[in-house]
């Protein structure tokens, strides 16, 4: 049971939450168009990062749409306020979405930083295992947020341990690869660390909201927090990684305009023997 179900909402509270959900899934749809349309601006080895951003956009779009429709069916206007109707609202869908997005977002980091081979496999496995452990232990804890009984605190604390492990791994991955990267992208790569730290910290903040602000306004604050976290950790993060990939590609001589020519040989599509020329 989530604490959203324990209140009635005035017109403003209910409507703001509805609008914030809409902003969330609209941002994911916009991000999807951006990542699909700009992936060719980078060298092929970085394009998988844009594809993975698109995967994140689709899963988050669907999750936020579901949660938004659920908000509408869980509360109805009774003439004075929006009060509980037959269905129960649940944030659990978010956790299921994170179990896709957390490993994928961290994999993108490895791709854009140019981590390959055994280091990539090791990084990918540790990110995925620690990420899923963080999400699923938190998922168990959030079922107890209304009573805030022991499982809420215990599972939340276990999840935090995995979160801290992930932060150390991300910090080391980013700062350990910095020297290998062209000078002109290093400040952007440091920016990825600060963006990730800020946006990911919002999620435990939202988990704790019932304990900090147990009211209808607390619900509004929590859903705004989630939306800011979703847009920054998925869309802004993806745009930043794409910008870094584009700059590294340019540094290595990649020019998107001529890259498009190379895929279309001069002699036409039937002339398969002709290599791409400019």
**Least separation, in Å, of the C-beta of 162 and ligand RET?**
8
The span from the CA of 109 to the CA of 178, in Å, is: 12
Q: Counting contacts by CB under 6 A, is residue 207 touching ligand RET? A: yes
Alpha carbon distances (Å) from 67 to 157, 174, 178: 26, 33, 39
The DSSP secondary-structure symbol of 267 reads: T
Sign of CA dihedral 249, 253, 258, 259: negative
Count, residues near ligand RET per rule CB under 6 A: 17
CB-nearer residue toward ligand RET: 47 or 137: 137
Annotate each residue in 81-100 with x if it binds ligand RET (CB under 6 A) or - if it does not, as one string: -----------------x--
Q: Residue of minimal CB distance from ligand RET? A: 138
CB-nearer residue toward ligand RET: 76 or 195: 195
Annotate each residue in 233-272 with x if it binds ligand RET (CB under 6 A) or - if it does not, as one string: xx--------------------------------------
Q: Counting contacts by CB under 6 A, is residue 138 touching ligand RET? A: yes
CB-nearer residue toward ligand RET: 235 or 248: 235
The span from the CA of 23 to the CA of 33, in Å, is: 16
Q: Say if residues 206 and 226 touch (Cβ distance below 8 Å).
A: yes
Q: Say if residues 92 and 138 touch (Cβ distance below 8 Å).
A: no
Exactly one of 204, 218, 256, 265 binds ligand RET (CB under 6 A); that residue is 204
> What is the footprint of ligand RET within residues 151-190 (CB under 6 A)?
156, 159-160, 163
Chain contacts with ligand RET (rule: CB under 6 A): 98, 101-102, 105, 134-135, 138, 156, 159-160, 163, 200, 203-204, 207, 233-234
């Amino acid at each position: 049971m989530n604490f959203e179900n324990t209140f009635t909402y005035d017109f403003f509270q209910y409507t703001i939450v509805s609008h914030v959900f809409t902003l969330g899934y609209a941002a994911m749809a916009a991000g999807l168009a951006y990542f699909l349309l700009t992936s060719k601006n980078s060298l092929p080895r970085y394009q998988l990062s844009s594809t993975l951003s698109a995967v994140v956009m689709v899963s988050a779009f669907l999750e936020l749409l579901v949660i938004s429709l659920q908000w509408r069916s869980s509360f109805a206007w009774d003439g004075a306020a929006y009060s509980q109707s037959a269905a129960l609202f649940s944030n659990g869908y978010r956790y299921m979405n994170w179990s896709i997005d957390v490993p994928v977002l961290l994999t993108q980091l490895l791709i854009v930083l140019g981590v390959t081979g055994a280091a990539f496999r090791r990084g990918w496995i540790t990110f995925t295992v620690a990420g899923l452990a963080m999400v699923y232990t938190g998922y168990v804890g959030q079922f107890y947020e209304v009573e805030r009984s022991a499982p809420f605190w215990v599972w939340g604390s276990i999840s935090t341990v995995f979160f801290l492990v992930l932060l150390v791994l991300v910090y080391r991955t980013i700062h350990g690869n910095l020297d290998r990267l062209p000078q002109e992208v290093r400040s952007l790569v440091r920016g990825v660390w600060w963006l990730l730290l800020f946006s990911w910290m919002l999620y435990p903040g939202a988990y704790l909201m019932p304990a900090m602000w147990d009211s209808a306004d607390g619900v509004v604050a929590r859903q705004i927090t989630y939306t800011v976290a979703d847009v920054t950790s998925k869309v802004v993060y993806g745009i930043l990684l794409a910008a870094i990939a584009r700059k590294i590609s340019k540094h290595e001589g990649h020019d998107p305009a001529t890259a498009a020519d190379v895929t279309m040989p001069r002699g036409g599509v039937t002339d398969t023997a002709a290599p791409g020329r400019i």
